[in-house]
Amino acid sequence: MFKKLRNNNKSESNQFNNLDLHNIPEHVAIIMDGNGRWAKQRKMPRIKGHYEGMQTIKKVTREASDIGIKYLTLYAFSTENWSRPESEVNYIMNLPVNFLKTFLPELIEKNVKVETIGFQKGLPTSTIEAIDHAKEKTKNNTGLRLIFAINYGGRAEIVQSFKTIVDELQHKGLSSDDINEDLINQHLMTKNYPDPELLIRTSGEQRISNFLIWQVSYSEFIFNEKLWPDFDGDELKNCLKIYQSRQRRFGGLSEE
């Protein structure tokens, strides 16, 4: 799709909101926030907001894949979300099952590879099985990598990585001098992905909430006002447009 449109500049710019297709972030991470408020505004139970949030994931995945984003990481469930009422937790845990039942054929057709980060311990067996099935079915896909952060927390991830690093250093007879950024990167759950250039959080909240706290050191942050169920492909393109208007300096000076 991306290639085909490149041969036709007119439809390319129309379809993609005049985005500069040479400056698309490789990795976009999203904190999908506002499901509960969306439902509350409509006097509906919170789980209805999560259901609609799942539908938004489909829209955003389609758009991300069409635009040529390579990695899309979605914060689906944090290590802190277990403190929600049991019925809500159970509902959210079943969403991957529902999502993959209805959407896996399209993911396969779109060459999307399903992956996860987070702690498997504590997840219901049905959730693990649905995810494992999707991973297996999409393992050879070469398009968008759709990464669900489930039972994920940035601090817990860093703690786990430090434990492994200390064990390995002791085992190999190495010292603290051998600890560097690369070594830490290689022990994070995100070791196979580049850092996100762009982090989006919906619903107007301006917090990081323990999401990819190491990896977003130099990411651009966009706090979008829409509640997640109201977010869609066009809104993603709006965010990319804002991203393209930013200057990334990585602690250096601008060239102007």
- Interface residues with ligand FPP (CB under 6 A) are 32-37, 50, 53-54, 57, 76, 81, 92, 95-96, 99, 148
For the bound state, the minimum distance from the C-beta of residue 35 to ligand FPP, rounded and expressed in Å, comes to 4
CB nearer to ligand FPP: pick between 81 and 161:
81
Burial (0-12, 13-18, 19+ Cβ within 10 Å), 253: exposed
Which residues define the annotated binding site for substrate?
34-38, 46, 50, 78-80, 82, 84, 201, 207-209
Residues 81-89: contacts with CB under 8 Å, at least 24 apart: 82/122, 87/47, 88/46, 88/47, 88/50
For the bound state, the minimum distance from the C-beta of residue 176 to ligand FPP, rounded and expressed in Å, comes to 37
For the bound state, the minimum distance from the C-beta of residue 100 to ligand FPP, rounded and expressed in Å, comes to 7
| Nearest to 234, CA basis, from 4, 1, 10, 16 | 16
Select the residue whose beta carbon is closest to ligand FPP and give its number: 36
Q: Which residues carry out catalysis?
A: 33, 81
CB nearer to ligand FPP: pick between 5 and 95:
95
Which residues define the annotated binding site for Mg(2+)?
33, 220
Q: Output the DSSP codes for 13-54.
A: HHHTTT--TTS--SEEEEE---HHHHHHHTT--HHHHHHHHH
CB nearer to ligand FPP: pick between 16 and 99:
99
